[in-house]
Amino acid sequence: MLNTLFLSPTSACFELKNDAPYFAPEHYVYALDGQELGESSVNVLSLFGLTPGSAHSLRLRFSGGGETSVSFRLPKETCALDVRGFGARGDGLADDTSALRAAIAVLPEGGRLFFPPGVYRTLPLFLKSHIHLDFAAGAALLASPERDQYPVLPGTLPDLEGGEELHFGAFEGQAKPMYASLLTAQYARDITVTGPGILDGNGEIFWKDFFELPAARPRLMFFNRCRGIRVHGVRARNSPSWQIHPYYSEDLGFYDLSVEAPKNSPNTDAMDPESCDRVEIVGCRFNVGDDCVAIKSGKIELGSTLNRPALRYTIRNCLMEAGHGAVTLGSEIGAGVKELTVSQCCFRGTDRGLRIKTRRGWGQNCRVDGVTFENICMDGVLTPITMNMWYNCCDPDRESEYVWSREALPVDERTPSLGRFRFRNIRCTNAHAAALYVDGLPEMPVEEVALENVRISFAQDAKSAVPIMKNFASPCRKLGLYFDNVKRVVLRNVTVHGAEGSPLLANHCGEVVTEGFHSEE
């Protein structure tokens, strides 16, 4: 069955409905209105360069002989304008900033700004509500190398009429001054950005001396207090820091994106939705220098004052490679994370699959609950599943006895908590450090970790590594399922292959249910 995932006036995105992670069970050829366009082997398929308001039929023919099809009609638009009509040259040499800013400023509501093939060098651009930016194949928006010309946005400013402070800049869980991002939207709604062109953050100009900068590095795309954002098909790369950063926004969709950065580039997370509600990330490919998806909700200050959890996130049919974590929760999760579902994803060569980072001092609002991972494949991941309530990075107190003491300390307003976690239908091959590493607090154990139909095997030449970042951590190799301070552990049809030593270690745990737990040499 083929479902329509997203439609813009010029593009369409579709998803095959099955349980297979990222890759389709069968190779297929696709045709639009009877004309064959190409072939694919993944579950999410996109079309670009379509005509607004047009009706079409898409048909897929599978290698095994079956077929599926869907009919759709694209939405209309009020107008479409070419950026060259405003003086943009797109030669990669001229500064197109003034032309592009003027084009965005005068674009009528419901209109589309079209970028034909070319390289458009520009300083940060500021988006407004009800517009569509459309990048053709061969079009690239390139961030200007003139760093001193980037506007610096304040973290907050007071309302002169006595209202609440308004937020404009942020980084790593705090409101703080930041350089404007290549695409910046503030307090806006109904913005669409479509590909298949390139957004290039030219991050090298910020990577070398970022500790000395007077403001936080820009993102590639920053959406602050926005609603109804859709990004489809673009190739995002080389951001100065986090690539795509939605901040206190809602109703967001990111479809069939490619997000890239060199493995050694600092803090180039692919997608960091922070304190957002209703986020959908589907069919994306991530290969970056830090976490692939990092879900955040602010440090303890914002977690306690604004208390906006990351809520109702869906991540599906994505391929994540070479990041520190495939899906990371934290480290800035002062308001917690609730209702996260990750399904049909492939993780390759990441340090961790699921990575949760929290610790004492991050506050009682820092609660993670309702997390489900299902139909996931992992290969070459150092440690597939980690939950760390002893994280020792960020903030001055990270090496204090309060953080590292293994004694049960009093539960108070500073104590975080981890709730219920479900892992179903997961296959992990070529793991290295540990199959799973869950380390809760003695005074606040993890409530429940349930694994069902899970198989984890180690690489023959597995390398030793630290499974989680905590004080006094020791590297390990081929460690089995490790649980410490968990109220309830459930293992149903779970197999660990190639562990050295005991395949199951459960320290300071309450109920441990094993219904079909197997260990293989």
- Using one digit for the tens of pLDDT, what is the confidence trace for 412-441? 999 999 999 999 999 999 999 999 999 999
pTM of the entire structure? 0.98
Q: Considering the domain delimited by 77-156+168-278, tell me its CATH architecture.
A: 3 Solenoid (2.160)
Residue 358 has pLDDT above 90, yes or no: yes
- pLDDT interval class at 462 (50, 70, 90): very high
Q: Are 22 and 375 in contact (CB under 8 A)?
A: no
What mean pLDDT is predicted for residues 157-169? 92
Confidence (pLDDT) at 28: 98
Q: Tell which residue, 311, 375, 376, has the closest CA to residue 340.
A: 311
- pLDDT interval class at 323 (50, 70, 90): confident
Question: Residue-wise over 287-309: b if at least 16 C-beta within 10 A, else e?
Answer: bbbbbbbbbbbbbbebbbebebb
Kindly name the residue from 290, 351, 395, 484 that is annotated as catalytic: 290
Question: In whole angstroms, how far apart are CA 442 and each of 355, 359, 408, 446, 484?
Answer: 20, 12, 5, 9, 8
Query: Half-sphere exposure of residue 28, counting CA atoms within 13 Å on the CB side?
Result: 23
Residue 162 has pLDDT above 90, yes or no: no
Catalytic residue flag (residue 130): no
What mean pLDDT is predicted for residues 239-247? 98
Catalytic residue flag (residue 379): no
Question: Across the chain, which distance is largest between two alpha carbons, in Å?
Answer: 70
Confidence (pLDDT) at 394: 82
Mean pLDDT of all residues belonging to the chain: 97
**DSSP single-letter state for residue 296:** B
Kindly name the residue from 132, 167, 324, 432 that is annotated as catalytic: 324
CA–CA dist 236, 182 (Å, integer): 11
User: pLDDT digit string (tens) for 190-236?
Assistant: 999 999 999 999 999 999 999 999 999 999 999 999 999 999 999 99
CATH superfamily of 2-73: Immunoglobulins (2.60.40.10)
Residue 187 has pLDDT above 90, yes or no: yes
Domain assignments of the chain as residue spans, ordered by start: 2-73, 77-156+168-278, 291-521
What mean pLDDT is predicted for residues 63-92? 98
What mean pLDDT is predicted for residues 383-397? 93
CA–CA dist 337, 332 (Å, integer): 10
User: pLDDT digit string (tens) for 88-136?
Assistant: 999 999 999 999 999 999 999 999 999 999 999 999 999 999 999 999 9
What mean pLDDT is predicted for residues 453-473? 97
